[in-house]
Amino acid sequence: RLIAFSKKGTDSLSLYLEAVDLKALPSGLRRFVEYSITIVNQTCEELSVRRERRIWFDKNTPNWGWPDMISLFNLTAPNSGFLVNGGGVMVIAEVEALEVIDTLNPSQVAEISEDRAHDYSSSSDELQNKDDVAIEVNGFQVLHSQVTQVKAIFEKHPDLTSNFSLKNQQIKNAYMYALLDLIKTLCKAPKELTVEDLNKADNMLSDLIKAGFNLDWLRQKLDQGLDKQIAYDTRIRELEKQVKKRKLALTELEGDLEKEKAAASVATIFSD
């Protein structure tokens, strides 16, 4: 089961996976699990927050997770995409039990090789911030916080770089950062974008396509966004013109009213 909470005085949502059945099992039983937890961004899938881990669960440590899965500010921001139309947060947990051993049985423990024991061991380093470390994903070096997003993009669009032939690592990384920034821009709410923003995004998209990225899916999203924004801006200008005309008409009407009041006042004086 999933455990979600926020400690008092912090701005983070904590998410943990707990193996509830271990409490009723013998103390020597251990279960090695590979699992991931994803907080789904319901407006832009690429911005979902995903963490994954391979770890041992046992009676003494029945739960593992992340104390800072996502900041509450990002989670509850009006246009973040995690809360849509006042609905709940969508969380997906994927779990695969890789191995179960009885540590009280020496023969089972001996079967685990040194290499596998190293793979299975947990490290406090996993809990540290690794954003200053570049990690390679499909030939691109990205920050630790970007790994999940980049992997998700390649999984959804496996032909993303089939025509990309640049070899210089720094240039490749720069293009990937540009792509991530572009996706972030296009995932914003329409009211947060201007036609100028979308035109800049269009130029960036063209540069990425020229470099060899297959981005038809992003081109479609950008074209739709640009059409909507142009229609939105056109409607705004029309409304502004109407408001201006009505304000002018109201000003003229107020002037006529003041004239009528003045004329009425003069007529009253002379009648007296």
Domain segments of the chain: what residues? Answer: 2-128, 129-272
Q: What is the pLDDT of residues 8-55, one digit of tens each?
A: 888 888 988 888 766 555 555 677 788 888 888 888 877 888 888 877
Q: What is the pLDDT of residues 71-111, one digit of tens each?
A: 888 888 877 888 876 668 888 888 887 666 554 444 444 44
Q: In this prediction, what percent of the chain has a pLDDT beyond 70?
A: 77
Q: What is the DSSP secondary-structure string of the chain? A: -EEEE--TT--EEEEEEE-GGGGGS-TTEEEEEEEEEEE--SS-GGG-EEEEEEEEEESS--EEEEEEEEEHHHHH-TTSSSS-TT----EEEEEEEEEEEETT-HHHHHTS-HHHHHHH---GGGGS--TTSEEEETTEEEEGGGHHHHHHHHHH-TTTTTT-----HHHHHHHHHHHHHHHHHHTS-GGG--HHHHHHHHHHHHHHHHHT---HHHHHHHHHHHHHHHHHHHHHHHHHHHHHHHHHHHHHHHHHHHHHHHHHHHHHHHH-
Q: What does the pLDDT read at residue 271?
A: 61
As its CATH architecture, domain 2-128 has Sandwich (2.60)
Q: What does the pLDDT read at residue 119?
A: 44
Q: Whole-number mean pLDDT of the chain?
A: 76
Residue 228 has pLDDT above 60, yes or no: yes
Phi, psi of 231, deg, nearest 5: -65, -40
Cα–Cα distance for residue pair 155/149, rounded to 1 Å: 10
Q: What does the pLDDT read at residue 125?
A: 42
Q: What does the pLDDT read at residue 159?
A: 92
Q: What does the pLDDT read at residue 160?
A: 92
Q: What does the pLDDT read at residue 149?
A: 87
Q: What is the pLDDT of residues 145-189, one digit of tens each?
A: 788 888 889 998 999 998 888 888 878 888 888 898 888 888 776
Cα–Cα distance for residue pair 41/48, rounded to 1 Å: 5
Residue 59 has pLDDT above 60, yes or no: yes
Q: What does the pLDDT read at residue 99?
A: 64
